[in-house]
Amino acid sequence: VQGMEVGITMQIKNYNGSLALSVSQCGCNVKDLVISLDGGASWFYQGLINAFEDHIRAAVEKAIPENIIDGTSKLDSLLQSLPRSVNLNNVSALNMSFVNDPQYGNSSIEFDINGLFSPAIAKISNLQKHPQLSLSCGGASKMLLLSLDEAVFNSALEVYFKAGSMHWIVDNVPDQSLLNTASWKFIIPRLYWSYPNDDMLLNISMASSPMMRITSKKIGATINADMIIDVLHDTETIPVACISVVVSASGVAEAAGNKVYGKVKLDNFSLSLKWSKIGNFHMSLIQ
């Protein structure tokens, strides 16, 4: 075969959250086809082959597109069999449904995936579309560019919050004396008078799902938590006060080579007393 050209035009469309592949055009052109036989009565069959050369060329030009189209149908079945939801653990699942049709660039193709977290037992019913997020590679050639909207992070935080996973018992701190009532006898006198020299622990739980905000310059987060002070008195665990904690922090993430690193700073930190069994005390000193 000399000078064979094969052309194919395919379309990838979003179909109910999956990708559907179809062939709109496919053709093959053979410039020249030479078949040579050797030995035996080849001189006789060679004449027949030469006579039917145009028919053989036409059969080749027909068979190649048919095989390509058959192969693309198998690829289409594979694309549509991709899972629309992947369980990450027994708490959360990741919505892998495609949204919008693929976007084609000069040398790239962009796929938009829902990407939101949901409870592992929940069924994904509808597709949520979010504003387009345009990012630039800075002119560098990239094999793969992955962009995540802040809604992805916030959906994950909300799922784990509703599952009750954002709850911690703190019974060990760098300065362990802080978890003893004796260290607070001058700041919270009634705590020491009621429970002298008793150990304490902090029962911390999120009051609401944390919120993240992502801009082109930084990543910000606001955390609202309730911190209950428990006193370990004899064999009892006695809650004596609840403090509302509001923390605002921001940071940046950067990549260097094959490593990702970042830094975070505390923007704001405030405490307020929600309820107390040991009287009122100065939150500014606690803070």
Residue ranges matching CATH 3.15.20.10 in the chain: 166-285
Q: What pLDDT does 125 receive?
A: 43
**What amino acid is encoded at 183 in this protein?**
S
Is residue 111 within 8 Å of 82, Cβ to Cβ?
no
Q: Which amino acid does the sequence have at 120?
A: A
pTM higher than 0.85? no
Closest C-alpha to 23, from 70, 83, 91, 81: 70
Of 15-29, 139-153, 184-198, 235-249, least confident by mean pLDDT is 139-153
Residues 48-86: tens digit of each pLDDT? 777 788 888 889 899 999 999 999 999 999 988 888 888
* Distance separating alpha carbons of residues 35 and 63, to the nearest angstrom: 17
So what's the architecture of 166-285 in CATH?
Super Roll (3.15)
Please tell me the distance from the alpha carbon of residue 243 to that of residue 184, in angstroms, as a whole number: 15
Map residue 95 onto helix, strand or coil: strand
